[in-house]
Amino acid sequence: ELKVEQNPLFLSMQEGKNYTIYCNYSTTSDRLYWYRQDPGKSLESLFVLLSNGAVKQEGRLMASLDTKARLSTLHITAAVHDLSATYFCAVDTPYTGNQFYFGTGTSLTVIP
Amino acid sequence: NAGVTQTPKFRILKIGQSMTLQCTQDMNHNYMYWYRQDPGMGLKLIYYSVGAGITDKGEVPNGYNVSRSTTEDFPLRLELAAPSQTSVYFCASSYEGPGPNYGYTFGSGTRLTVV
């Protein structure tokens, strides 16, 4: 079974600070996805990473993928309160059919 | 454009009762999925469908059934509700399965409590 682990599970950070969320997965894959979920809401797609070395940026968030290390990072630059949410990574491979395997999520709280 | 619509948004069931969670999408997506999200956890796939008339089990299918008679609709049936099925259920769709331009579109979720 493909396993996806995120750390940290909980993150409290001050506005203006930088931090990185890590997503490790257990099998070969070059397809990784990041989602954001606000409390009580659905999941919103943030990034789709499809090759080793892929990097995507949107505002204060930047995601990267290292398929050799089976690792993706979500870097937060100069955090603002609006980034408070839970962030999930998900992985799929040609060997798992049409299934996404989700990490347990990182709950981010940005403190003013 | 409504996207993926789930009903109901909230429901309380008694043990042993049955219910159907409805999911409809208007994007002409071939692939549809049902996930459950337990508190503080990620999402786990219950069932999925790659087109009308075709369904398959995901990671946690026990206690659930699905059907896909049309492209638009993918209802999830709970026959004998158990407390372990207390969860938030998300329906999602995508055009050609997970891939570069077709990540999932999620519905708003159904919060189910079994007492």
Question: Over the stretch A68-111, which tens digit does the pLDDT of each residue have?
Answer: 999 999 999 999 999 999 999 999 876 666 678 899 999 999 99
Name chain A contacts of B41, Cβ cutoff 8 Å. Answer: 104-105
pLDDT at A30 over 90: no
Q: Which of B106, B108, B111 is the best substitution to test chain A (most A C-beta atoms within 10 A)?
A: B106
Give the pLDDT confidence score for residue B96 in this predicted structure.
Answer: 73
Beta-carbon pairs below 8 A across chains A and B: 58
Give the pLDDT confidence score for residue B40 in this predicted structure.
Answer: 78
Mean pLDDT, chain A, rounded, equals 91
The pairing of beta strand B110-114 with beta strand B10-13:
parallel
CB B46 within 8 A of CB B35: yes
For residue A87, the one-letter residue type is: Y
Give the pLDDT confidence score for residue A96 in this predicted structure.
Answer: 65
Put simply, whether B7 touches A (Cβ < 8 Å) is: no
Give the pLDDT confidence score for residue B99 in this predicted structure.
Answer: 62
Give the pLDDT confidence score for residue B69 in this predicted structure.
Answer: 97
CB B48 within 8 A of CB B32: yes
Is the previous residue joined to B61 through a cis bond, with omega within 30 degrees of 0? Answer: no
Q: What percent of chain A shows pLDDT beyond 70?
A: 96
Residues B34 and B75: their CA atoms lie apart, in Å, by 9
Q: Which residues of A touch B (CB under 8 A)?
A: 1, 4, 31, 33, 41-45, 48, 50, 88, 90, 92, 97-100, 102-105
Nearest residue in B to A97, CA atom? B97
Residues A62 and A20: their CA atoms lie apart, in Å, by 9
Residue range A20-35: average pLDDT?
Answer: 91
Over chain B (115 residues), what is each successive 10-residue block's mean pLDDT? 90 97 94 91 91 93 97 96 96 76 83 96
Residues A57 and B52: their CA atoms lie apart, in Å, by 37
Residue range A42-58: average pLDDT?
Answer: 91
pLDDT band at residue A51 under the 50/70/90 scheme = confident
Distance from CA of B17 to the nearest CA of A (A): 25
Beta bridge partners, A48, equal A33
Nearest residue in A to B59, CA atom? A99
Give the pLDDT confidence score for residue A31 in this predicted structure.
Answer: 85
